[in-house]
Amino acid sequence: MSTRPTLFVTGASGHLGRKTVEFLLASGKGNIIAGSRDPEKIADLVAKGAEARAVDFNRSETLATAFAGVDRLLLVSTDAIDQPGRRLIQHTAAIQAAIDAGVKHIIYTSATNASPDSASIALRDHHETEQAVISSGLGHTILRNTLYMDNLLMSLPQILSSGQWFHAAAGGKIAMATREDCARAAAAALESDFSGNRIIEISGAELLDHDETASIISGLSGKPVSAIATDEATLTHALLNAGLPDIFARLLATFDTAQAKGEFNVLTSAVRDLTGKQPTTLSDFLKDHV
């Protein structure tokens, strides 16, 4: 009879969940279950040795069955931000299902300095989910992930084309991390034997403001880029004019406001402590994505 723990990753068809499963399969320290609303999307992970289970956060009555026999659960925060409160409903249903299924330890991917009064609209329901995790009575690890470096890749073509990077972050700094580093940290937390309660701030390698980041982009691309500070309302309007849906325009703009207020000014050694590897610098990340 196997004594290896059964480890479950939700959102396995998404970027972070998929990469986390890949790290877990490579280490071979547990029986890996990958959860997705559409298991067909993770057939490649099954081919590599994972078990697939259907997980639909909008059908809470199915979740306890999906989590049956699981020792440690990674709850990857969902992207259900289109309706206020919807993501929190999904998360709390998953936490209750974990309790009902007898899960021993839950790992939740939260966000830096999650607070009920954060300037970022995204951080508020992370705080509420954290409170649900803490009050669940389960052993837990809360991973407060910083913003992903990978998100820069979506706006870089326009930034490089115009030479202008509009933002509302003032001089606020952030230590962005790669999604891969966050996934590696999540895998390490999931497969560890830690059984208590902890909150870990996950950061990248260096604190940078927009001017410093623009300078790195300029140096690597050979094209001058200027970071131009504006306010949240102006940035939101510009994002709406660029075609972003209202909720996403407000989400991005309030991230900048939170950065301006110092909410993301966090630098830790957590990635190295959990994984044994130094987090990726912005320069190295951009070099890898030329």
CATH of the domain at 114: 3.40.50.720
State how far the Cα of 22 lies from the Cα of 184, in Å rounded to an integer: 9
Let me know if residue 212 belongs to a domain. no
Mean pLDDT of 77-96: 86
Q: What is the dihedral of CA 107, 108, 112, 114, to 10 degrees?
A: -130
Q: How many structural domains is the chain composed of?
A: 1
Let me know if residue 84 belongs to a domain. yes
Helix, strand or coil, per DSSP, at residue 109? strand
Let me know if residue 93 belongs to a domain. yes
Mean pLDDT of 242-261: 93
Let me know if residue 76 belongs to a domain. yes
Q: Domain containing 191: what range?
A: 6-147+177-203+267-275
pLDDT band at 1 (very low <50, low <70, confident <90, very high): very low
pLDDT of residue 2: 55
Mean pLDDT of 217-235: 96
Let me know if residue 283 belongs to a domain. no
262 φ/ψ angles, rounded to the nearest 5 degrees: 85, 10
Let me know if residue 184 belongs to a domain. yes
Share of the chain above pLDDT 70, in %: 98
Let me know if residue 216 belongs to a domain. no
Let me know if residue 242 belongs to a domain. no
